[in-house]
Amino acid sequence: MAYLETGRTHIEIEPTDGATRVRVAEIRGWGDTSAATKSDISIIGNLNASGKNVKRSKAGSVENSQTLTAFYDPTDPNQALLVAGYKFFRAYVVEDTVDRVVYNDCEVLSRNKNGQEIDGLVGMDLTITVNSDITDILQT
């Protein structure tokens, strides 16, 4: 079986811990990123043997985000929740009935309805900040 086969993958959210999960969109694609901030902690006047500044930095907090390319459905009340600022407990990328990726402690950062026609449907792009961890679920 292909991983995340087209036409079989959707996103579900769990609004609060233990709440019933709701299906919010069929997705055409998704991605996630984890990036740490970096702070310059160099000391002015700290020079190496060549007389150049010794550069030092310290990694800061890691920021995670999820991006989704989905189908837009203005009549779906669950999808209507996905507006900038909406916070929810957990998001799941689901293929058929199998959880593939879990995102914890989420907030919608932006939503863009792009109006691109895909087989008569309209596309939507979402960016979601993930304030906790991202779990890839391995299937054997």
Residues 6 or more apart whose CB falls under 8 angstroms from that of 140 comprise none
Longest CA span, the chain: 68
Is the CB of residue 84 less than 8 Å from the CB of residue 58? no
Q: Please write the tens of the pLDDT for every residue from 81-122.
A: 888 889 999 999 998 888 988 999 988 888 877 666 667 777
* Separation between Cα atoms, residue 82 and residue 35, nearest integer Å: 24
Q: How far apart are CA 128 and CA 140, in angstroms?
A: 29
Q: Quick check: 93 and 9 in contact, CB under 8 A?
A: yes
pLDDT tens-digit readout, 55-84: 888 877 778 888 888 888 888 898 888 888
47-51, 85-89, 126-130, 135-139: segment of lowest average pLDDT: 135-139
Instruction: Give the residue with greater pLDDT, 120 vs 128.
Output: 128
Is this model's pTM higher than 0.75 or not?
no
